[in-house]
Amino acid sequence: MAPDLGRVDRLARALELRRGRAAAASAGRFQDLMMTDRSTAATAEKRRVFRSLHASGFFLLPNAWDRGSAVRLAKLGFKAIASTSAGAAWSVGKEDGELGLEAILDHLRMLVASTHLPVNADFENGFADCPKDVARNVALAVDTGVAALSIEDWSGTAMYETDRAVERIAAARSAIDAIDPTVMLVGRNENFRVPDMSVGASITRAVAYADAGADCLFVPFILDHGAVAELVAAVAPKPVNVVVHQYDADIRAFAERGVRRCSVGGSLARKTWEAFDAAAQILRRYDGDDGC
């Protein structure tokens, strides 16, 4: 019997199509792997650069709150940025502390993807009380690509007892080390939440957090120059972060006292929103009959 040439041709074309699809799929997988490798390398470089910034000298760490602010800060020449829980909340019409874990993780992914700069995450209290739950959430934060993250000792309603606070820092350190030890951990004492907390008590906590594995120490409202110098000496050689809300010569004074970096918390976002409100109030005067 003579072969059915049409059928043979159709089979050949089908085989070629399958080969083409297989080749395309293989190429797609290869591209995905290449993109993953490039992303991993970029993340590793950000983390290396960020850690090196803490080795000596002084740098500013402005806090971005959305993609636009992250891009603008990078264009202005800053070496790294941090997130701000307050700024992140305000950017979506909420108050500080009202964003949950998933929202913050999404926010961190957005910031990391927005800039070539390293990102230091304001990770609040780790969104958990129990050390093992802090460790789980810290692992999720590391997976966003951040170069560092802070863990504070305020539950949202009270300050953790010192032993529990130290356990939480140690759990965060273990979680980071299991994934990438180059990610920096910032131990943060929320001294301003407790009006009668002494500078000495805050420094004692900072030392304990350093011993538990924090790479950098942060006590937001220790601003007296003598107290700052005492904090720097107590945790040395580990670096200290000071938050500044006034952008003046005091920033250089902190650097002279051995502070490694100054962040701005939510103040840059607040100044931006205050300017927005002022302009909007002027505009409101001309809104319909109300402005006549």
pLDDT, tens digit, 9 for 90 and up, residues 60-90: 999 999 999 999 999 999 999 999 999 999 9
How does DSSP assign 83-152, residue by residue? E-HHHHHHHTT--TT---HHHHHHHHHHHHHH-SS-EEEE-TTTT-SSHHHHHHHHHHHHTTT-SEEEEE
Reference 151, options 180, 208, 189, 182; nearest CA is 189
In whole angstroms, what is the distance from residue 186 CA to residue 215 CA?
A: 6
CB contact set of 148 (below 8 Å; sequence gap of 6+): 50, 118, 119, 120, 121, 183, 184, 185, 186, 215, 216
pLDDT of 264 reads 98
What's the mean per-residue pLDDT of the chain?
Answer: 92
pLDDT of 129 reads 98
pLDDT of 2 reads 52
- DSSP state, residue 238: S
In whole angstroms, what is the distance from residue 133 CA to residue 127 CA?
A: 8
Residue 63, CB half-sphere, CA atoms under 13 Å: how many? 29
In whole angstroms, what is the distance from residue 108 CA to residue 142 CA?
A: 10
pLDDT of 12 reads 61
Sign of the CA dihedral with 264 first, then 89, 209, and 214 last: negative
Q: CB of 61 within 8 A of CB of 81?
A: yes
pLDDT of 30 reads 54
pLDDT of 96 reads 92
Residues of the chain short of pLDDT 70, as ranges, are: 1-9, 11-12, 14-17, 20-37, 290-292
Phi, psi of 7 (to 5 degrees): -65, -40
CB atoms within 10 A of CB 95: 9
| C-alpha triplet 240, 180, 136: angle, nearest 5° | 90
